[in-house]
Structure formats: C-alpha cells, structure tokens
Chains A and B, each alone.
Chain A
Amino acid sequence: MLFTSYEFIMFAAILFVLYYLVPKKFQWMLLLLASYVFYSFAGIRYIAYILATTLSTWLASRMIGKLKDTQAEYLERNKETLSREEKKAYKERTKKRQRLWLVLCMVFNFGILAVLKYSGFVLQNVKSVFNVLSVKNNIPILRFALPLGISFYTFQTMGYIIDVYRDKYPYEKNVFKLALFISFFPQLIQGPISRFDDLKKTLFDEHSFDLKAISFGFQRILWGFFKKLVIADRLLPAVNTIVRNPEEYQGVFVLVGMFFYAIQLYADFTGGIDIAIGVAEIFGVRLTENFERPYFSKSITEYWRRWHITLGTWFREYMFFPISVSKSMLNLSKKCRKLFGDAIGKRIPVYIATIVVWFTTGIWHGAAWNFVVWGLLNCLVILVSQECIPLYQRFHNRFNVQHTFWYRLFQVARTFWLMSFLRTLDCYRDVPTTFRMYASVFTKWNYGKLFGGELLKLGLTVSDYIVLVLAVLLVLYVSLKSRSASFREQLAAKPFAVRYLSYFVLIVSILVFGAYGVGYDASQFIYSQF
C-alpha cells in the first residue's frame, strides 16, 4: 500500500478516527494492529518474516536483559565477600553469555536478509565465474521476493538488540510493544531507522487530540505529497527516457539526467519521509528527522551527515566504530606504525572500517554491482577528501576565501555535482554503461542540442517544465527559510488568512499539478525498493 495511493489515504483516515475514539490505553495496540494490517497488504505470507525477526529479537533481548539483572543481583548480594578480581571474572563470564545471544540473534536476522536479498546475486556471480572458466555447473539462479521494508526493519531491530547488549537502555519486556517498534507502519517502507529509546518516548504513550500537533502532521503529509506527486513523479518519465536509452542520450543529456535524477530522488525520498513523519505526528508519535537540507552541503562527508541521517548514524554506531576501535584493529594499527611509520599506521583502522562500511552501504541499497561500485566510489572520494584536508587548509590560509558567498556556492555546487555523478550508478543498467555515459559527458560535445527542442522529447511538455521550475523554487524557498527555524512554526505565526491560503494553494497544487494522468498508477517510492 503506497503512501500516495487512495487505499492508504482511506486506511490512514479510518485509523485516525478510531485512534482518537478508543480508550487511550489501547491506542498503541491499535497502532500495532494497523501496522500488521498495513503489512498484510504487501502479502500476508511476508508477515512470517517480520514475526520471526520480532520473536527472535524479543527472546534474545530478554535473555541478555535477564543475564544483566541476574548479574546485578548477584554482585549486590555478594558485594562484601567478592574480591575485585572475582567480580571482574564474573562480569566477563556473563558478558560472554550475553554476547552469544547477541551473535545468535544477529546471525539469524542478518541471515534472513542475506539469503533473501543477496543469495541470487552471489550465485549469479559464481555462475558467471564458472562460465568464464568453462566449468560446467548447475547453479540455480534464485530470486526471492523481498518482504516489505526488510532492510529497514532488520537494521532498526539489530540496532535495538546491540543497544540492549551495550546497556544503553533496558530491554522491552512486552513482546507486543517490541512488535510495534519493529512494524510501526509509517516508518516501515523507507525509514527513518529509529532508535528504540527515541521512539518509545511517544510510541506507547497515551495521546489526546492535540490540534496543533495534528495540523502540523497534516501539513507535513501535504508537503510530502507535493514533493512526491508534483516533482518526483513528474520527472520520472524524463529520467527513464534518458537512462533507458543510453545510446541515444549521451553527452549533455547524461548531465541533464543526473540533474533531473538528483531532484527526483530528493523529492521522492524526502517526500516519503515527510509523509512518514507527518502520519506518525497525527498519532502523536515523533520520528527522527532523516534529512538536513543535504544539497546545501559543502563537502561529501557533510553531505552524508545530512542525507539519510538515520542510516548513516546506524553504520557509524554499529559498524564503523566497532570495527575501527576493536582491539584487533588497534593492535594492527600499532604493528603498522612500527613497520610503515606513524602516518600509515594510524590510518589503517579508519581506512579498513570506512571501506567495510561503504561496501555494506552499497549492497544495503541493492544486490547489484552498480551499488557496490557506488559505495566504493563514495568511500574513495571520502578518503581522498580526508587526505586533501591539509591541502585545503593551505589554500584557505593563502587565499582567505572560505567565508565568502561565492566560494561557499562553489563548494555546494561541487558537492552537488560530485554526488550526482556517483548517484547515476543507481540509474543505468550496469556499471560499464554508466562509465561509458560518464565518458560521454567529456567526449560528446552536443551541448547545442539543449536549445534545439530536444528537452521536449523527454516526456515533459513546456507546462511540465513550468510546473517543475515553480515547484522546485518553492522547495528551495522552504529549505532556505528552514535554516533559521522550523518553517511550520514560522507559518503558524502568520495571520489566519495567510496560513489557510497556503494550505489551500498546496492542496490545489497537489490535485491539479500532481503527475496522475490517464490511468494513473502511483509509482513506487525509490527507497522502498531498497
């Protein structure tokens, strides 16, 4: 059930009425029921997967929690009699058993994800290698249908169990509450990837009908619909025309495709997150923000701090740090310092962890070489930028330009285009085609075609372009206004007439300018396929 489908609007409307009618203590249970109803729309058989993740995680977190409780009781009971060493040894023994439960839970859940999402890709590559070597084989090509949101809910749930293991917060005793945390429908399809301690603050609370919060939620939903339907879905045919006909559209059209895809993806993903956050908000639940005006970033590292924030945070907390500061990595670093000197030795943990993180980020997005290469190229740019910092500093010291408007604009444009180049790997059918298209940007000089009416052959009319320019300017305006304070708060402070005129114009824009067309079928959100 897509957020922008009529079914979803009906589903959310009915749930909204029921939510504020049922006794407040049943509200979270209603959300749980609704989340499973929502999930069953994607296929009732997939419920088995999310249930398996929920039950296994509940069991493992319960065992870890019980071990912690038993340890605390034992140490308290024997605090006078046990020596420091005995206490330490006891703690280590308990930790080992906790770690066993953590590992079992992670292997089981990442195992499900790996088998469903990656086994086909791995087997296909093994088969290709055998074919190249002319080795006869009967390796089957497997294709599993992916359960809705599996990459998102698996990561969120594994974050929870790691946090419980690390003692960040106590485990959730109530299996149904944990089930709601994992399946909460607004965030299920494309995130944000929430942390349990953040989400529980509002997810299980009793909520009164708060007109301000609810109207804020509706505004956010409308804004998401506007971005998705007026911008992203309108640009879709143009992006598809360019990337599906690489022989025809080269040179400047590759740049046009990159530019359109940058806008489309932003509108699609942030629009989807706006709807998710807005829907949660009308039920009184606060989700974590996932974007912070990423296209205003001045460097690629800054960009990744501001785009898909919750995924970046997940990788940093649960993968980058555990690898880079692990004992074995620090020992390796020490050895390398002795062998190759300080400069190389101290880089080893950071380099290895960054490569692992970006490889995983790549395959998280999809089981295809395009995503692997995309991840590793991001890694390369980040590491090269890191190495270039002293160079930049020397440049900044020599030419005092870094605080000027034009230099910042240059940095923003550079980051935008660099990311747009890398992101194009999402679009073309394979890596060699993408690289051929990169090359064509520099070798095929067809820039004159831009003004020869070719832009009108991409599936967009003049009126489409006008709507797009105005809509993108509006998004840009809202982004710029949001730098100082929440745009919704600023709007709320305006006179009644201004506020309601804005809502009216937004609703009419969605209805009139949304890319519906004849036989409209709401298109998938891009990130829901990851």
Chain B
Amino acid sequence: MDKIIEILERMHPEVDFNTCNTLIDDKIIDSFDIVTLISELSEEFDVTIPVEEIVPENFNSARAIHALIERLLEDE
C-alpha cells in the first residue's frame, strides 16, 4: 500500500492519497496518469494489469488499486 501511495504521490504531490477515494470520478488522475501508473505498478509488483481492469472502481483510490494488485497477484 505504501509503495502504491509513493508512486501516486510522485505523480500528484498535492493529493492526499490516504483519504481520497474519487481519483477517477473527480478527474484527479487522467488517462495519461493511468498509463504511467500501470507501467510503474507492473514493474514494481511484477504483475500484468489487463486492459479490462481499467475501470473507475479499480482506480478510484489507493486502497482500490491495492486490492486490484492483490487480486491479480493471487490469480497469477
């Protein structure tokens, strides 16, 4: 979780990722950010994030991203 927040903070230092749960809904992170994020997450956790997982529910908060990574790692 800390790693994920660290990656997100590098992209948007002004956002409190511990509390924010509307990253997509409030357009805090855009499509460009998502691509950068997926690239960094794939490298950091050695996980493949399939395109069908790019839905707001999976990227609206650091917690949701963490849950996504855990689920994908479990499936692999």
Contacts and interface: CB of A to CB of B under 8 A. Distances in A.
Contact of B51 (A322, A333, A346): A322
A353 B35 contact: yes
Contacts of B39: 325, 330, 333, 346, 349
Interface residues of B, number: 17
A327 interface: yes
B9 interface: no
Interface string B33-76: 01110111011000011011010000000000000000000000
Contacts of B38: 325, 330
Contacts of A168: 52
A324 B37 CA distance: 11
Given A325-B49, A330-B39, A386 B32 contact: yes
Contact of B54 (A305, A321, A334): A321
A334 B36 contact: no
A167 B48 contact: no
Given A301-B30, A330-B42, A334-B43, A349 B35 contact: yes
Contacts of A326: 51
Interface string A317-335: 1001110111100100110
Contacts of A322: 51
Main secondary structure of the interface of A (DSSP, over half): helix
Contacts of A350: 32, 35-36
A330 B51 CA distance: 13
Interface string A207-240: 0000000000000000000000000000000000
B51 A325 contact: yes
Interface string A166-207: 111000000000000000000000000000000000000000
A165 to B, nearest CB: 9
**Interface size bracket, A side:** 20 to 34
A488 interface: no
Given A325-B38, A350-B36, A320 B52 contact: no
Given A166-B51, A325-B49, A325-B54, A346 B36 contact: yes
B49 A321 contact: no
Contacts of A320: 31
Contacts of B36: 346, 350
Contacts of A127: none
A167 B54 contact: no
A166 B35 contact: no
A322 B31 CA distance: 12
A298 interface: no
B54 A166 contact: no
A316 interface: yes
Contacts of B30: 301
B51 A321 contact: yes
Contacts of B52: 166-168
Nearest to A334: B43
Contacts of A316: 31
A301 B33 CA distance: 13
Interface string A23-60: 00000000000000000000000000000000000000
Interface string B11-34: 000000000000000010011101
A330 B45 CA distance: 14
Given A167-B52, A168-B52, A346-B36, A321 B31 contact: yes
A353 B32 CA distance: 10
Contacts of B48: 327
- Point out which of B30, B35, B38 has the most chain A C-beta atoms below 10 A from its C-beta: B35
Nearest to A354: B32
A325 B37 CA distance: 10
B71 to A, nearest CB: 14
Contacts of B43: 334
Interface string A457-475: 0000000000000000000
A346 B31 CA distance: 14
- Point out which of A167, A317, A325, A330 has the most chain B C-beta atoms below 10 A from its C-beta: A325
A390 to B, nearest CB: 12
Contacts of A346: 36, 39-40
Contacts of A317: 54
A345 B36 CA distance: 10
Contacts of A305: 27
A320 to B, nearest CB: 6
B35 A325 contact: yes
B47 to A, nearest CB: 11
A261 to B, nearest CB: 28
Q: Which 7 A-B pairs have the closest CB atoms?
A: A166-B52, A324-B35, A325-B38, A322-B51, A321-B51, A350-B35, A321-B54
Interface of B: 27, 30-32, 34-36, 38-40, 42-43, 48-49, 51-52, 54
16 contacts: A166-B52, A167-B52, A168-B52, A321-B31, A321-B35, A324-B35, A325-B39, A326-B51, A327-B48, A330-B38, A330-B42, A333-B39, A346-B36, A349-B39, A350-B35, A386-B32
Given A322-B51, A330-B39, 8 more contacts: A167-B52, A301-B30, A317-B54, A325-B39, A330-B38, A349-B35, A349-B39, A350-B36
